[in-house]
Structure formats: C-alpha cells, structure tokens
Structure 1
Amino acid sequence: MAEGTPKKILFIDIETVAGTGKFAELDPIWQKLWSKKAVSLSGGNEEIDAAEMYENRAAIYSEFGKVIVIGLGYFAFNEDKSVELRVTSLSSNDEHQLLTSFQKLMEQKFNQGYFLCAHNGKEFDYPYLCRRMTIHGISLPDILRLEGKKPWEVPHLDTMEMWKYGDRKSFTSLQLLTTVLGIPSPKDDIDGSMVNEVYYGTGDIDRIARYCKNDVVATAQVFLRLHQQPTIPKDKILFVDFNE
C-alpha cells in the first residue's frame, strides 16, 4: 500500500431488522410510538398505514429495530508483502449476545490503533451500534467512543463521505459505487431491502450473513480504489474465524 494509506482498518457492515416481525406483535405503547413516527416520516400524513411502514422501514431506526449480523474485515500483510483481506461475520437471533460478542472482539483484537470503515457508517452503522449497545447496557468499545475526542482523533472512516468530496447533499449506494468504479460485485441473491423479509419469512440468518460479508468485501475494495490502490484479488480474500 502507498505511503500514508491507513493499514490498520476494520471494515464493518451491519444488517438490521424490525424489532418484531409484525406491527401487531408490538406492545400497544410501541404501536403508538411507531404510529407517531410513521406520521412524521410521511410528512404529517395521518392516513399513513403505520403497520405497512413498520415492516418496510422500522429496521433502519435503532429505537425500533435490532442488529442481527455484523460483518467485519481487515487487511493482513504477509512476509512476501502480499496483502490478504480477512473477513468474518457475527450473527445471532439474540441481539444482546451478538453485541456482547462484538464488544469483546473489539476490545481484545482491534483496540490498538485501528480505524473503523463503513459505507455510510457515520450516518448509520456506527450510531446504530452505539444506540443498541446502550439500550442493552453494554459498554461501548473505545473504537466507537466519541466523547472527549477531537474530530481528528475519532477513528471513523466512511467510503460514502470520501466519495462525496465535500458535497453535503449526495447519497451514493455501495452498489452504485462499486459499479461506477469498476469493482466486480458479488452476485448476491438478496439485497438490503430484502433482509427483513428474509429474516422473518425464513429465519435464514446464514444467508443474510453471506450477503453482509460480501458488502464488507465491497467496502474494502472501494476504499482501495478511492486511495488509488489495487484491489485485492479473489484468491486473497479469505473468509475466516477471527477467534482462531
């Protein structure tokens, strides 16, 4: 990698779903709270179908959703100077267990000089994880802590922010960015809009985890292209267990 390109980076992606499969399964007070949220999201439309909106959009709001998969990847540098991308995922139907495992991994393996990098991470992944961990009473790993840090001390990178080049209003999806940069995109059988349906329809969390890991790979490759670096060849992308 070129001089000045960060090497200790943990690429991350999370998959989230609504807190329950159906709006009707919510406690009445949560139904009322979501209904207010739905009206607000629809620009004040009192006729909005809160139940339908819950299934379609609740997953992206940390107060009403939960994390089911966390994908992770980092660069490993070999003695022959070749670079590998090592990728894994943590997944569980028990969010407290999942976030506890994530917290322990961060403190034990990625607590010394690492940056986090995600696509739209500053607007979604990082705050979502922080809020859900707070809800569960799990202490935040140092890599997610913001208090007491000056802006330039916060170890958070964001490939969407990099692509903006100072533009404040632009949103670019990871799929669009990989396409425009000529990065091969894995042929996933699902996309982000289908995660909630797959989870509550089939319970196939492994399928969602595979999709999540592929997004981690895509984010790492985008990061390299944005730093004018060669992407990692397929035979150097390893899906492993970080605890081994």
Structure 2
Amino acid sequence: MIEKIRLENILFLDIETVPEQEHFGLLDDETRDLYSAKTLYQRKDEFTAEEFYDRAGIWAEFGKIVCISVGYFTFRNDIRHFRVTSFFGEEKDLLRDFSNLLNNHFSQAQHIMCGHNAKEFDFPFIARRMIINNLPIPNKLNLFGKKPWEVPHLDTMELWKFGDYKSFTSLKLLTKILGIPSPKGDIDGSQVGHVFYVEKDIDRIITYCEKDVVAVAQVLLRFRREELLIEEEVVHV
C-alpha cells in the first residue's frame, strides 16, 4: 500500500520534450520517410508528415528531452520540505546528470520513481534517449529481467485507474477534482517546442515542468490522505 512507502524514498519527476529538429525540412530524406511511416496511423489523411511534425516530441525516436525536473521530500525535526530541481542544457549532459542523481542518491532497494503517466511516457522516453545518446541506463530505469513487483516505479495515473485501462486522466483534471491548485501556468505541452525553438526561453519551460512535479507529489499526498504542501514547504534548488 502506498501509505507504507516512506515519502523521502520517492523521487518525483516530469520531463519536457521537443522535436529533435526545429523544422521538418531539417531532417534528412530517410528520417522524413521514417517519420511519415511512424505517424501514419495518427495522421490518417488529415495531416501531412510535415504538418504533423510539431508533435514529433512525443516519440523518443524523433524527439529529445530539454528538461527533467525532480522533487523529493525531506524531514528534519518534524519540518517537511519538498525540494525541487531541474536538469537542462544539452540532452546528453542533462541525461548524464540525471543518471548521476539516480545512481548516487536514489539507487537503493527502497527508492522509487514516481510520475503521472510516467510508465507510458517519461520512464521509457528517458531510457530510450539514454540508449540513443550512448549512455548506460541506471538500474532504476532498466526493467530487463525484473518481475512486475520488482519494478521501482509509481504512476499516479495508474493508481487512479484502479485496474481500469480504458481511459486517460490528465494531471490537470486529477488536480481539479482532488482540490489541488492547478500545476499549469501560461503554457501547455503543445507549446513547449515553440517556447524552446522560437522564444528560446528555457526558464519558462523549467517553471512549467517543476509545477508538474509539485502537482504529482500533491496527488500522491491526497491518495495517502495527508496534508497538501503549502508554498513555504516547496524549495527550489
């Protein structure tokens, strides 16, 4: 049961991704063809591959990570804090830094990673991009040979489903119905590519990503029937 997990053993995370190139025209001919084939089912006859390229960031084969934000609880003298930090910059560097965090501070058997829809998106996306960038996959992300109960991952969307696999519940909807302040600011996921490539405003993306991390932690607290974080308890480092 999630109530038995020590909060300080959970690493909450969220990632932001963008198309690997700013424009479809920057891809080589073979990659364009491969992207066209990969997205055919989603596009159907409504969009060309080029018109659909703004969504390339949802596939690890055609996107890249521009920010990984993490958060974790600390308790000292019965004072609770939630510390949030982000990794950004060149993708290989941010992946290496994130890997170092996992290996040095969240690598023990009791440590768990937690995100929203993270089993479907964040965790595999990170692992795939590590392979593409020729980096070793940390044990907490390497699921090969692990039994289902040995996988150190929590997913708040999966917890909300209670075994129902028919629907997707967004983090924004979940925070709304649970009475949690909305994590979203002035952008949404569909705008991250524009903010990154056109506005070149990585700070705006970091803020957006870190708000999601706090929101995931808040959702888990509600599942555990514990007091929500207040602003003074959230520490950005």
Same fold (TM over 0.5): yes
Residues 187 and 104 of structure 1, relative CA distance in 2, 3 Å threshold: closer
**1:200 alignment counterpart:** 197
Q: What secondary structure does 1:50 align onto?
A: coil
Cα drift, residue 29 of structure 1 = 0.8
1:99-118 to structure 2, matched below 5 A, reads 99-112=95-108, 113-118=110-115
Cα drift, residue 35 of structure 1 = 1.4
**1:19 alignment counterpart:** 20
1:109-188 to structure 2, matched below 5 A, reads 109-112=105-108, 113-186=110-183, 188=185
Question: One-letter code of the match for 1:49?
Answer: T
* Ranges in structure 2 where 5+ consecutive residues have no aligned partner: none
Cα drift, residue 63 of structure 1 = 0.3
* Ranges in structure 1 where 5+ consecutive residues have no aligned partner: none
Q: CA RMSD, aligned part only?
A: 1.4
**2:211 alignment counterpart:** 214
Cα drift, residue 198 of structure 1 = 0.8
1:72 to 70, 73, 90: 70
Question: One-letter code of the match for 1:6?
Answer: R
Query: 2 CA distance for matches of 1:48 and 1:84?
Result: 47
Cα drift, residue 206 of structure 1 = 1.2
Cα drift, residue 186 of structure 1 = 4.3
Query: 2 CA distance for matches of 1:193 and 1:120?
Result: 16
Question: One-letter code of the match for 1:25?
Answer: L
TM-score, normalising length: structure 1: 0.92
Q: What secondary structure does 1:49 align onto?
A: coil
Cα drift, residue 187 of structure 1 = 5.5
Query: 1 CA distance for matches of 2:35 and 2:3?
Result: 49
Q: Residue deviations 1:150-207, cap 9 Å, x none?
A: 1111110000001111111110111111011000124611111110111111111111
On the 8 A contact 2:70/2:210 being kept in 1, the answer is: yes
Cα drift, residue 82 of structure 1 = 2.5
On the 8 A contact 1:185/1:218 being kept in 2, the answer is: yes
Question: One-letter code of the match for 1:78?
Answer: R
**2:86 alignment counterpart:** 89
Query: 2 CA distance for matches of 1:61 and 1:148?
Result: 24
Query: 2 CA distance for matches of 1:6 and 1:154?
Result: 17
Q: Residue deviations 1:219-239, cap 9 Å, x none?
A: 000011012111111111111
Q: What secondary structure does 2:81 align onto?
A: strand
Residues 172 and 187 of structure 1, relative CA distance in 2, 3 Å threshold: closer
Cα drift, residue 5 of structure 1 = 3.5
Cα drift, residue 98 of structure 1 = 1.2
On the 8 A contact 2:172/2:184 being kept in 1, the answer is: no
Q: Alignment identity in percent?
A: 50
Q: Residue deviations 1:72-109, cap 9 Å, x none?
A: 00010112x222111011111x1111111111121112
Cα drift, residue 38 of structure 1 = 2.7
On the 8 A contact 2:183/2:214 being kept in 1, the answer is: no
